[in-house]
Amino acid sequence: MKSAKLILFAFLFLALGTIPLVAQQSVEVRIDKIRLSAEKTPTYGSASHPSQGYWLAIEVDFTTKGSNEWINDLDVHFLALMELENGRYAYMDKTISYVDVQNGRQHHVVAYVKPAFFERYVKGARPDSGKISVHVEIGAAGRRLAADDKLANNKIPRKWYENLKNLRDMSGELRAKSKTPFAYIDYDYYEEEKPDTK
């Protein structure tokens, strides 16, 4: 009987040990601000040609608070709605994972859309924030912890992201910072992407 209790105790201990870190602690996330900006392609010292294009930067500032000092993994889900030249709309959908997120302070993450997208589909040399809406969700271990929106104008439905079936999917145009020329700029300012982020 005693050995059976020991076996049961060991089983429960191992099972509890597999629960994700975020489930063992109370984690709160507040999205402070969503910013859209046009950023010129950075020029490095050895470059022989000046930068020409403007990227769309979607920056998110958020604050975390929790019982543990660190969060192992945090997912930021970016959804962007773009008005194209023909008056139709396309959307972009990307989740980027971040590691070693320290609780109790403000954090910064960013995703980009390349210049060629605007030159080809919008016919503009620079991104126009008046034609771009963004929805951001932050979560961990399958739980949504915070969400916020930035709408281009009052013609855009507040929950546009819930009905995407008639919109063109151009998710491949939205990129993690590490997949752009901005990868090593302000490296310590932004949260570290999970190594396998595509």
Q: Which residue's entry shows tokens 């999917």?
A: 169
Q: Which CATH architecture has domain 26-43+51-179?
A: Sandwich (2.60)
Q: Mean pLDDT lowest for which of 21-30, 77-86, 126-135?
A: 21-30
Region at 142 (left for phi over 0; alpha for psi -120 to 50; beta for the rest) = left
| pLDDT tens digits along 20-62 | 444 445 789 999 999 999 999 988 776 566 667 999 999 999 9
- Three-state DSSP at 183 gives coil
> Comparing C-alpha atoms, which of 49, 146, 79 is closest to residue 107?
146
Size (the chain), residues: 198
Residue 143 CA to residue 141 CA, distance in Å, equals: 6
Distance CA 81, CA 40 (A): 21
How many Cβ atoms sit within 10 Å of the Cβ of residue 190? 17
Q: What residue spans define the domains of the chain?
A: 26-43+51-179
- The model's pLDDT over 153-184, given as tens digits with 9 standing for 90+, comes to 988 999 999 999 999 999 999 999 999 999 99
